[in-house]
């Protein structure tokens, strides 16, 4: 017997970047709870296919965010705003740093001004800004805590421009909270993975999974000893409305991710084992992958104390399950290339 449909609420949400990887999962949750949702996405990295082809409570606007906000009618007011639009991925940032910097700072600034200019009857709409673990820069200690100091590399290394731009976004959001009482929440996402994630912008897990499916060599950059903590998007996305809906979280910054580290070499091995692939693992120098002067962190691990205390956040989906589901979303329905028959 099918579950009864969720009754529509009067809440209207704006999700920027809603056709992207994390954004589309969030949109699905908001629709499931009965909200009306407006998505603005220029599809530069998102995919229209990530969203329902049609839904009576979903409106999709394909446009640059700044232009879309300007074009929305004066009577257009939102009860919640989620800002996920961004230029993401190490390869994209290094290949086109100007676009990445301008997109990440200018769109966040335009969105925050919009939130103040279009208040609801109760005041400015609660607004969530997605940031990144990259904000921690080189990291002075591990695990990373939200109030840690940060250290970046020189401005001559474009790799750090993304971290600086996202840090500016955070400063803006917190300044709007302080000066204009905007109910703002900042979340720093740590290596979010799962179905619908694409690997063409440097995302490591979908890149590994796609290679394993096709039987191609899995390329591990550097010696593979660098470690990360991977958290499934289906654990991450539900935390966003919970944080935004709690007034005690407004004006604060939260890490969201998993706490169990895995080396990138071991990640490649886990992908091979989970999918039954025979792909070999090859090591590629950072200079070959990203150009000379690239710096990587030996470890990136979040302290989740704050988000756990705020909303009881605890990731539940295993890495192996994420790998299987990501493979399925990439079309691995038959035996993998080079795997035993």
CATH value at residue 64:
3.40.50.720
Instruction: List, for residues 207-255, the tens digit of each pLDDT value.
Output: 999 999 999 999 999 999 999 999 999 999 999 999 999 999 999 999 9
- pLDDT value, residue 286: 81
Q: How many domains would you assign to the chain? A: 1
- Residue 142 is given by DSSP the state S
Helix axes 264-275, 204-214, angle to 10 degrees: 40
Q: Which residue has the higher pLDDT, 32 or 333?
A: 32
Q: Is the pLDDT of residue 338 over 50?
A: no
- pLDDT value, residue 7: 66
Q: Which domain holds residue 180?
A: 12-191+233-258+301-315
Instruction: Report how far residue 299's alpha carbon sits from residue 214's, in angstroms, rounded to the nearest whole number.
Output: 29
Instruction: List, for residues 309-328, the tens digit of each pLDDT value.
Output: 999 999 999 999 999 999 99
| CA nearest neighbour of 275 among 328, 235, 311, 228 | 328
Domain membership of residue 273 (yes or no) is no
- Residue 220 is given by DSSP the state E
Domain membership of residue 277 (yes or no) is no
Domain membership of residue 168 (yes or no) is yes
- At residue 57 the predicted structure's pLDDT band, cuts being 50, 70 and 90, is very high
201 is a catalytic site residue: no
297 CB-contact burial (10 Å; exposed 0-12 / middle 13-18 / buried 19+): middle
Domain membership of residue 64 (yes or no) is yes
Q: Which residues pair with 302 in a beta bridge?
A: 144
279 CB-contact burial (10 Å; exposed 0-12 / middle 13-18 / buried 19+): buried
Domain membership of residue 269 (yes or no) is no
Domain membership of residue 5 (yes or no) is no
Alpha helices in the chain (DSSP H): 21-32, 65-71, 90-95, 97-117, 161-180, 204-214, 233-236, 239-244, 264-275, 286-290, 305-311, 319-329
State the catalytic residue, choosing from 162, 176, 221, 290. Answer: 162
Domain membership of residue 124 (yes or no) is yes
- At residue 1 the predicted structure's pLDDT band, cuts being 50, 70 and 90, is very low
Q: What is the average pLDDT across 78-92?
A: 87
Q: Is the pLDDT of residue 120 over 80?
A: yes
Judge whether 185 and 39 are in contact, CB under 8 Å: no
Buried/exposed code over 204-220 (b: 16+ C-beta within 10 A; e: otherwise): bbbbbbbbbbeeeebbb
Domain membership of residue 217 (yes or no) is no
Instruction: List, for residues 163-206, the tens digit of each pLDDT value.
Output: 999 999 999 999 999 999 999 999 999 999 999 998 877 799 99
pTM: 0.93
- pLDDT value, residue 87: 80
């Amino acid at each position: 017997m099918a579950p009864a449909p969720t009754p529509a609420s009067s809440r209207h949400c704006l999700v920027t970047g809603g056709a992207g990887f994390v954004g589309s999962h969030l949109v699905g949750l908001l629709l499931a709870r009965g909200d009306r949702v407006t998505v603005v996405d220029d599809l530069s990295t998102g995919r229209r296919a990530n969203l329902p082809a049609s839904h009576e409570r979903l409106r999709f606007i394909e446009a640059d965010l700044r232009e879309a906000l300007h074009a929305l009618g004066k009577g257009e007011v939102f009860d919640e705003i989620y800002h996920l639009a961004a230029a993401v991925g190490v390869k994209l940032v290094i290949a086109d740093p100007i676009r990445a910097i301008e997109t990440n700072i200018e769109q966040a600034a335009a969105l925050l001004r919009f939130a103040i200019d279009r208040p609801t009857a109760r005041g400015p709409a609660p607004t969530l800004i997605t940031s990144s673990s990259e904000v921690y820069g080189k990291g002075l200690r591990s695990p990373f805590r939200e109030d840690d100091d940060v250290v970046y590399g020189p401005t001559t290394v474009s790799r750090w421009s993304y971290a600086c731009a996202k840090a500016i976004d955070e400063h803006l959001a917190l300044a709007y909270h302080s000066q204009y009482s905007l109910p703002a929440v900042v979340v720093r996402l740590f290596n979010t993975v799962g179905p619908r994630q694409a690997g063409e912008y440097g995302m490591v897990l979908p890149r590994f999974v796609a290679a394993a499916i096709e039987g191609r060599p899995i390329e591990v950059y550097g010696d593979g000893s660098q470690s990360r903590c991977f958290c499934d998007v289906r654990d991450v996305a539900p935390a966003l409305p919970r944080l935004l809906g709690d007034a005690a979280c407004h004006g604060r910054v939260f890490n969201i991710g998993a706490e169990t580290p895995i080396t990138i070499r071991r990640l490649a091995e886990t992908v091979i084992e989970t999918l039954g692939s025979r792909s070999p693992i090859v090591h590629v120098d950072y200079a070959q992958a990203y150009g000379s002067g690239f710096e990587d962190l030996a470890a990136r691990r979040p302290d989740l104390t704050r988000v756990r205390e705020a909303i009881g956040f605890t990731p539940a989906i295993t890495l192996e399950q994420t790998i299987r589901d990501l493979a399925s979303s990439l079309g691995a329905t038959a035996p993998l290339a080079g795997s035993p028959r």
